[in-house]
Structure 1
């Protein structure tokens, strides 16, 4: 189960990057903290080196829609390198990303936007929950869909200096923020 969940998360992150930056058939590098990979994989690795060993063994068969990935420690995080054929796979098999595209479009011009604008995008796609973040948090609000099949991520937003920013988290990573 963990391998498939990680692959799906990689695909989701690559979709987001391709929508923001465009598609290039090139190696994509994504960076994960060990704790996030432990959540995705259901493992208990304590160090980045242990996680690289775990990932290398898990993907030793090289059977992934993303191709032959490689893993290494980079500044205390895990760098996952997805080869060009993986980037191409994501580009060609992205599926329905209407919500993600709408959010990225909203944030492509973050000036004069508000949390209300984010709520309006969520509202177009289904029932959602909006929670105020605790005092001292890096974010103002967190939004997610009641039905995770629409989009499973928690979108944390912040208004600062006339700009609106967001970061999306897996439910488990979001819960760790709190």
Structure 2
């Protein structure tokens, strides 16, 4: 998958996750990326946020994205990507099967009294998966991901703390950089 397509897919995936958590609104959505993550998605080697902003503006100059006219800004050393309301609508109406993501978001909507075993049950419904212990001192306890990334390409890092469960999902490359 080319860099532009991969970034568009990642934007749509992040937006769909937000819509499942917060509900759908036809409004501008702003997503924030570190330069290193965008380099991984795009196959670029920009060193500074300003350089990445220029790269993105050129890459998305023409044709317009299926998410609409994207806007880029530098905010605190990260890149803010603004997706217009028609992009939010496109994601809401055209995202493919997101049954796994729906179940994960539903599980974490009430994280109290949940455990990694509950997460494993959700993963198990959708295919073969891997669950690995995170290294000592990391921010998470376990990482789970599907053996077949076509089910879901993300790595889900989970942590049990103070009686509830939290998660964060990463692209494989971002996870490997942690």
Both structures adopt the same fold (TM-score exceeding 0.5)? yes
CA RMSD of aligned residues (A): 0.5
1:76: Cα distance to partner? 1.0
**Stretches of structure 2 lacking an aligned partner (at least 5 in a row):** none
Task: List structure 1 segments (4+ residues) > 3 angstroms apart after TM superposition.
Answer: none
Compute the TM-score of the two structures, normalised by the length of structure 1: 0.99
- Cα distance in 2 for partners of 1:25, 1:103 equals 23
1:31: Cα distance to partner? 0.2
- Say whether 1:74 aligns with 2:69: no
- Cα distance in 1 for partners of 2:93, 2:104 equals 21
Compute the TM-score of the two structures, normalised by the length of structure 2: 0.99
Q: Equivalences for 1:90-109 in 2 at 5 Å?
A: 90-109=91-110
**Stretches of structure 1 lacking an aligned partner (at least 5 in a row):** none
- Cα distance in 2 for partners of 1:21, 1:56 equals 29
Figure out how many residues of one structure are paired with residues of the other and give that number.
177
Q: Is the 1:70–1:80 contact (alpha carbons within 8 Å) kept by the matching residues of 2?
A: yes
1:63: Cα distance to partner? 2.0
Which residue of structure 2 aligns with residue 143 of structure 1?
144
Q: Is the 1:144–1:153 contact (alpha carbons within 8 Å) kept by the matching residues of 2?
A: yes
Q: SS in structure 2 opposite 1:15?
A: helix
Q: Is the 1:62–1:68 contact (alpha carbons within 8 Å) kept by the matching residues of 2?
A: no
Which residue of structure 2 aligns with residue 26 of structure 1?
27
Which residue of structure 2 aligns with residue 171 of structure 1?
172
